[in-house]
Amino acid sequence: MIDIKLIRTNPDLVRENIKKKFQDKKLPLVDEVITLDEKIRVLKAESDELRAKRNKASQAIGQLMREKKIEEANKIKQEVALNNQKIAENDAVEAQLSERIKEIMMTIPNIIDPSVPVGKDDSENVEIERFLEPKTPSFEVPYHLDIIEKLNGIDLDSARKVAGNGFYYLMGDIARLHSAVLTYARDFMIDKGFTYCIPPYMIRSNVVTGVMSFDEMDAMMYKIEGEDLYLIGTSEHSMIGKFIDTFLDKDKLPYTLTSYSPCFRKEKGAHGIEERGIYRIHQFEKQEMIVVCEPTDSKTWFEKMWKMSVELFTSMEIPVRTLECCSGDLADLKVKSIDIEAWSPRQQKYFEVCSCSNLGDAQARRLGIRIKGENGNYFAHTLNNTVVAPPRMLIALLENHLNEDGSVNIPKVLRPYMGMKEKIEVKK
């Protein structure tokens, strides 16, 4: 959510930003905010004038009562009563207009960084850099589900009976590999100086609307029936929510946290074959990183965070590339975002495994996360990045370490978490 002062002082900048995000239908909202804001200021001025008259009248009433001029005092009391009624009416209208402004401000997109390329959707994202040479095996790489089934690592049929489509049972060495990736990622982030955290897996609606846009909320979140609670779609939601309505001490910044959680997502719509299996599911586990910092430090942290993801993936010998997300691919709260994509030997192309985002003060403004400053308080900046989400990570890992006989080599960094096993063999 942007500062309303920006709309007052530079509405053209806000309009241009909306155009860059190809959301022209929102352009009239800027004029509506300006009109409503002007009405509120008129009401405030009128109410302030009425309160001043009331204070002056109260003094006059006291003087008249002391002078036993009861009739004159009662006449002024009637005027005061009318003033109070008008003030109450103004306050009610002001509250209504303020609520409408808040609704609009929650939908106007954040101001994107000048470096963000302008484009309509993810097809216009810009490749930045590649890390490790992509592999092209001499044999045909099967679909990831076939790889896992050959290793007796998944049971989809039972999961469908228990929970429906979009769920699975991971079994045996594949389940162990899944846990190994998460544990390695946790230790990797701890070694980077991040504090490990296991957050709540449910959050209240005020936290949901504080961390994400309404469109994202509708597409992602599961609501608990009869409760003001939602299942988290990522631990970023509850981790940023941890700081709601707080004043942060400058000396304790930045807060660097890495969190583990299950994640729950609706994943609406039909998907092609490459997004079936374990690619796009309703429940998965994830290691996340978040940073809450000084506004002047967020760009530096943004660079550090996506580089950590690259280092993590390359340490598991998985080739990756980085993509700069274009304006139309950015969620409304984001200032800048970089996706990390892993190489798929089967598809001979990259696919998304991580997304690193700088949200500026948008989440902090919604949630009331402020820093105590020497010259006044101000909003913090928040950032988040996927460390690993094993379903997609497993696909990348299995495809890139697959042998022709169907066995899978275990990267050296994961072996301590796999009982020092070097390979997952095909079960006979």
Of 27-36, 50-59, 169-178, 326-335, where does mean pLDDT reach its minimum? 50-59
Are 54 and 80 in contact, with CB atoms under 8 Å apart?
yes
Just give the CATH number of 4-105: 1.10.287.40
pLDDT band of residue 80 (cuts 50, 70, 90) is confident
Q: What is the pLDDT of residues 187-208, one digit of tens each?
A: 999 999 999 999 999 999 999 9
Q: Mean pLDDT in the chain?
A: 92
Q: Taking residues 298-324, report their average pLDDT.
A: 97
Q: Taking residues 83-96, report their average pLDDT.
A: 92
**What's the CA gap between 221 and 219, in Å, rounded?**
7
Give the dihedral of Cα atoms 10, 359, 205, 196; nearest 10 deg.
-160
pLDDT band of residue 221 (cuts 50, 70, 90) is confident
Are 187 and 236 in contact, with CB atoms under 8 Å apart?
no
Q: What is the pLDDT of residues 335-373, one digit of tens each?
A: 999 999 999 999 999 999 999 999 999 999 999 999 998
**pTM for this model (two decimals):** 0.88
Q: Residue 151 has what pLDDT?
A: 95
Domain with CATH 1.10.287.40 in the chain: 4-105
- Examine the pLDDT at 423 and tell me if it is beyond 90: yes
**What's the CA gap between 14 and 208, in Å, rounded?**
24
The third-level CATH classification (topology) of the domain covering 122-424 is BirA Bifunctional Protein; domain 2 (3.30.930)
Of 68-72, 313-317, 366-370, where does mean pLDDT reach its minimum? 68-72
Burial (Cβ within 10 Å: 0-12, 13-18, ≥19) of residue 376: exposed
- Examine the pLDDT at 219 and tell me if it is beyond 80: no
Domain with CATH 3.30.930.10 in the chain: 122-424
pLDDT band of residue 63 (cuts 50, 70, 90) is confident
Q: Residue 276 has what pLDDT?
A: 60
pLDDT band of residue 274 (cuts 50, 70, 90) is very low
